[in-house]
Structure 1
Amino acid sequence: MAVRKLQCIPPAVRSVRTGIAAALPKQTKAIYLSPEWRGLISRLLAQRGRRCEVCGRTGCRIFGDHIHELKDGGAPLDPGNIRLLCGSCHSGKTARVRAIRTRETLTR
């Protein structure tokens, strides 16, 4: 049996400069800057209290989170579509929904 030597093939791309690609700045949707949204969140905080509706955490920043996201057709100013969440619960929920949306996009 003859023994063959493996040859190395030089890479097609020698190097990639990742430092020149800047991330796009996050853009806040206009709805979240509107007086209607701010008024709704103020009313919900007064009615429901300044606590996370998932974990019960208090003494932290509370976010108004759309249960059914706007990208998925959720009503922007419906109090029944808004949950008050702490940063941890809001980030986790947003990441889960984004992962589901990405998975659905990839399987189409």
Structure 2
Amino acid sequence: MARLATLSPRLGTLDTRTARPAPKTADPELLTPEHRAWRQEVLKRAGWKCQAPGCTAHGRRGGVRLYADHIVERRDCGAPLDPTNGQALCAKHHSEKTVRARAARLRSPSLGSPT
């Protein structure tokens, strides 16, 4: 009876202990002077405090990093440089809000496309 030859795997394995992910890069729109001025205005208006209900995180001298978050995300046709479309959030609340917005976008694909 003849023996069947086996093929060697075509895909190699990746050693995750030594492989490094690609470096993160900022969206070029977020590096403009206009966006930096918008961010500064949003955080200043919030008094350098997280605006999530019940949160006591304080930025600047309080040592907490605050994010100037778009209330209606740019991806969802929110005004990118309108200070009224901004809020100051600590990292925890910014992540939670972003996850909720992405989940809503996945449920309703028409949200991300302009009309």
Q: TM-score normalised to the size of structure 2?
A: 0.66
Matched, 1:53 2:57: no
Q: What residue number does 2:37 align with? A: 39
Q: How does 1:1-108 map to 2 (within 5 A)?
A: 17=13, 19=15, 25-54=23-52, 55-58=55-58, 59=62, 60-105=64-109
Relative distance call for 1:104 and 1:47 in structure 2 (3 A) is: closer
The residue identity in structure 1 corresponding to 2:95 is: S
Q: TM-score normalised to the size of structure 1?
A: 0.69
Count of residues paired in the alignment: 92
**RMSD of the alignment, in Å?**
2.5
- Structure 2 unmatched runs, 5+: 1-8, 110-115
Write out the 4+ residue segments of structure 1 that deviate beyond 4 Å after TM superposition. 18-25
Q: Determine the C-alpha separation between the residues in 2 that align with 1:74 and 1:27.
A: 22
Q: Determine the C-alpha separation between the residues in 1 that align with 2:102 and 2:21.
A: 18
Return the index of the structure with the highest Cα Rg: 1
Relative distance call for 1:17 and 1:67 in structure 2 (3 A) is: same
Q: Determine the C-alpha separation between the residues in 2 that align with 1:48 and 1:69.
A: 18
Cα deviation for residue 19 of structure 1 reads 4.7
Moved more, 48-57 or 79-88: 48-57
Q: Quick one: percent identity of the two aligned structures?
A: 39
Relative distance call for 1:22 and 1:72 in structure 2 (3 A) is: farther
